Structure 1
Amino acid sequence: MFNLNGKKGLVVGVANDKSIAYGCAKAFKSCGAELALTFLNAKAEPHVRPLAESLGASHFLPLDVEQPEQMEAVFATLEKSWGKLDFLVHSIAFAPQNDLHGRVVDSSRDGFLRAMDISAHSFVRMAKLAEPLMKDGGCLLTMSYLGADEVVENYGIMGPVKAALQSATRYMASELGPKGIRVHAISPGPLLTRAASGIANFDHLMQDAIERSPLHRLVSIDDVGALAAYLVSDVATTLTGGTIYIDGGYNIVGG
């Protein structure tokens, strides 16, 4: 019912073949999009490069959002090469372990600010750089989690951080809507990704999702990718500003 032929997109956050960002990139590619992928640093590059090559990515660029001017360099490269951008996926999150594993009230100022900068404000900065390249409209996607909406055991400061990310998504959708730029947060159920492995008792979260969700199953990175491909397509041009749950219905089940 839709394709992404002729569309060009940037995918940020592929760490390995279990990454949600990789599931998205696969779906985009299968629908005909041309891709640019980023890698965090030299240590990550050998794990991500084969995936970028398998997807035929036109660009494979370094991006550590904490490094000055790296983000600007990525968008400058895309502007020079493509002259436009149709969609972007922001799928990165980080919190220092001491702050992530402790109580929110015990979180350090520096840890909280770093988590907010990497996990939330980096999406805002990407949106600002993407805006002039989306001359004919486009779509910006980020990844959230149910812990933004309610207390999830052991999710810690990432709950408030993801809540800020979701709120920023709504405000940016309002601000960029007149230019035809749509903004969404996708909220998958528990997935065993590299980032999730840092959350204590994550196996329990996954088992609880299976037992209590109406569909009694976990979602996969391919499920998330299919949703992302739909959202960035022309079929979804009347949708914006949403937090879209893909969790087998787990979000409707009371705690």
Structure 2
Amino acid sequence: MMNSSTTKARQCHCFAPGCTSGYVSSREQGQRASLFSVSKDPAFFEAWRRAVPSAYKSLDTKSALCELHFDEQFFERFYAHVINGETVQIPRGKAVLKSDTVPTIFPNVPAYLSKKVPKKRTSRTSTCDLPSKIRCQEPSTSACKETAGSYSTESDSQQVPVPNVPAIPDVRKHGLPSAYWARHLIAGADNATVFTVCALDSDKVTFDKYVLMTSNENRLRATAFVQATKIKTLDITDIEMAEELLRDIDSMIPCRGFGKACEFRVNLKYKEKT
């Protein structure tokens, strides 16, 4: 018989004493903070267990801690990509923790229980003082890939330069016009995303409507199709504009006069003489 402890889901609220992140009362007040599972590495899990103060129970593998208990240097907030021989940073949708992270900040308990993390020293090989866009010495032929831990966030007084390649709006399920729409990534085309509505033609699945979004240089271009006919092409500036385009295409109803070439026979009366 399976142990019930192994099937227990990860906690949806913060384990740290005095912290209300994840609780219903906190969400109703609009207070939201990202939750992170405890480290899977046994050594770091033990370090987490020792670091988190608790008077009533110990940290376990299903516990979670919110972002308020980690020093800023432990977050990875950007993807690093090599595009046309240049390295650019693109903001992540949600920050992740580095592998050597240990919680050190506990604002709701006595101050002596929080440990101040020493600032990371800047060596000659450090990239902390370099701009987010760096020309590579040797052009890379590999596909764009995430380089974890290569970049750290700057102080609040400094703004991260905007990358040349705009990010495709992350229109998730709640932003789609209806449950019939879906978002697809395209293998081998990291700069493209397609939003589709499928239809069933006998035993074949076809695209009734779809919107292709591609990101090139300083422009995000969207092209909309209805029954394989191009309807419009325009530049997208923000996620609201992308959602409005999807709603516009969703509301279009093809007229009954649409037909396929195979449905019509050649009129022999007007066929050219050979």
TM-score grouping bracket, smaller chain normalisation: under 0.3
- Considering Cα pairs closer than 8 Å and 6+ residues apart, tell me whether 1 or 2 has the greater RCO: 1
TM-score by length of 1: 0.22
TM-score by length of 2: 0.21
Bigger strand share:
2
**Which is higher, the Rg of structure 1 or of structure 2?**
2
